[in-house]
């Protein structure tokens, strides 16, 4: 696999550097030789750092963080957009606005403004404005779309910034370094490797070479997202056992009453109407009348007490 990738990179011209007069002395460890007035990049170092960058992306993306691909030069615009869309991440291919990371709240307000303008265009409010005002609003919408269309779904700061040509994207790398965000950069022989955490030496002017490297990085991001989705699989809840009710139901009360020694009386007492109960009491009173109180007779009179 590594040999095939190295062969593809060589065929894409990844090993051609800039002229000798334009080189940065800090890139000396990544230079293999000099042919005429052109430096030749060591492809082994390119392949080794590419594998290290892929492992870093897998670890960071699997932890739940996002990646932003940055490439505003003409040779990298299409490759950056294609790689980010392949793995479902964010990208900046037109212009890096100052403060896109350090002043992220203002960037979010610009995206809200873009949603407002798009809503006006859909419901016809934009056409009802005057010709001059409509032209100004359409120009504003085109400008925000060109600059921020790739990050309109980015709701938080990313975990990694991948830049093509670290010299041109120095502002983006500086903001990421200030916020402690990991950086991966494609560096030619005229760049400074100290500006990124992982430097991938490559010919950043070759469209095929940039496309190959970004595709490899996009595959690593996709693997990290797969690991995140595997961790977030929903767990089926255990079925709860039905708890017996503490209150006895009518059926339970009837069953317990029938099982008791006085079950017949209890069974007759359940469901008795109030009028029937009153009639029963009256009937018992007629059949067994209570004896009326009588006055005591003469024989029952108490003897008078005589004083001696």
Listing DSSP states for the chain in one string gives -HHHHHHHHHHTTTTEEEEGGG--GGGGGGEEEEETTEEEE-HHHHHHHHHHHHHHHHHHHHTT--EEEE--STTTHHHHHHHHHHHT-EEE-S---TTTTTTHHHHHHHHHHHHHHHHHHHHTHHHHS-HHHHHHHHHHHHHHHHHHGGGTT--S--SEEEEESTTTTHHHHHHHHHHT-EEEEEE-TTS-GGGSSEEEE--TT-HHHHHHHHHHHHHHHHHHHHHHHHHTPPPPPPPPPPPPPSS--HHHHHHHHHHSTTHHHHHHHTT--HHHHHHHHHHHHHHSPPPPP----STTSPPPPPP-
Give yes or no for residue 17 having a pLDDT over 60: yes
Q: Name the residue with tokens 């963080």.
A: 65
The fold for domain 2-101+157-230 equals Rossmann fold (3.40.50)
Give yes or no for residue 171 having a pLDDT over 60: yes
At residue 264, the pLDDT reads 47
Confidence of residue 305 (pLDDT cuts 50, 70, 90): very low
Find out whether 189 and 17 touch, Cβ atoms under 8 Å: yes
Mean pLDDT in residue range 168-188? 93
d(CA 134, CA 148): 21
At residue 7, the pLDDT reads 87
Let me know if the fold of 2-101+157-230 is the same as that of 102-155: no
d(CA 47, CA 39): 18
Architecture of the 102-155 domain: Orthogonal Bundle (1.10)
- Tokens describing residue 193: 């490797």
Mean pLDDT in residue range 182-196? 92
Inter-CA distances, 111 with 70, 90, 139, 159, Å: 18, 14, 15, 21
Low-confidence winner among 116-125, 166-175, 211-220, 244-253 (lowest mean pLDDT): 244-253
Find out whether 106 and 241 touch, Cβ atoms under 8 Å: no
At residue 269, the pLDDT reads 43
Give yes or no for residue 119 having a pLDDT over 80: yes
Give yes or no for residue 19 having a pLDDT over 60: yes
The string of pLDDT tens digits covering residues 252-292 is 555 554 555 444 444 444 444 445 554 554 565 555 555 54
Q: What angle do CA 218, 223, 224 make, to 5 degrees?
A: 95
Inter-CA distances, 49 with 31, 198, 255, Å: 14, 7, 81
Give yes or no for residue 56 having a pLDDT over 90: yes
Residue spans of the domains in the chain: they are 2-101+157-230, 102-155
């Amino acid at each position: 696999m590594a040999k095939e990738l190295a062969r593809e990179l060589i065929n894409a011209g990844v090993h051609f550097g800039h002229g000798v007069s334009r080189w940065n002395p800090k890139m000396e460890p990544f230079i293999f030789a000099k042919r005429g007035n052109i430096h030749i990049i060591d492809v082994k170092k390119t392949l080794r750092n590419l594998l290290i960058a892929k492992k870093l992306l897998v670890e960071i993306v699997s932890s739940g963080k996002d990646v932003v691909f940055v490439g505003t030069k003409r040779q990298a615009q299409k490759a950056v957009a294609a790689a980010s869309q392949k793995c479902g991440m964010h990208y900046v291919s037109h212009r890096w606005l100052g403060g896109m990371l350090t002043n992220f709240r203002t960037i979010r307000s610009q995206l809200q403004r873009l949603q407002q303008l798009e809503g006006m265009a859909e419901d016809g409010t934009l056409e009802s404005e005057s010709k001059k005002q409509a032209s100004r609003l359409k120009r504003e919408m085109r400008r925000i779309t060109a600059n921020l269309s790739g990050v309109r779904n980015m709701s938080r700061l990313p975990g990694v910034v991948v830049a093509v040509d670290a010299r041109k994207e120095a502002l983006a790398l500086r903001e990421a370094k200030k916020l402690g965000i990991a950086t991966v950069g494609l560096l030619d022989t005229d760049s400074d490797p100290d500006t990124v955490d992982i430097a991938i030496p490559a010919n950043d002017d070759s469209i095929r070479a940039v496309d190959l490297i970004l595709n490899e990085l996009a595959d690593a991001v996709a693997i990290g997202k797969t690991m995140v989705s595997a961790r977030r699989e929903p767990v089926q809840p255990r079925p709860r056992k039905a708890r017996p009710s503490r209150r006895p139901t009518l059926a339970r009360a009837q069953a317990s009453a029938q099982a008791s020694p006085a079950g017949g009386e209890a069974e007759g007492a359940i469901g008795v109407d109030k009028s029937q109960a009153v009639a029963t009491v009256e009937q018992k009173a007629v059949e067994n009348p209570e004896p009326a109180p009588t006055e005591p007779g003469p024989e029952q009179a108490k003897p008078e007490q005589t004083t001696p």
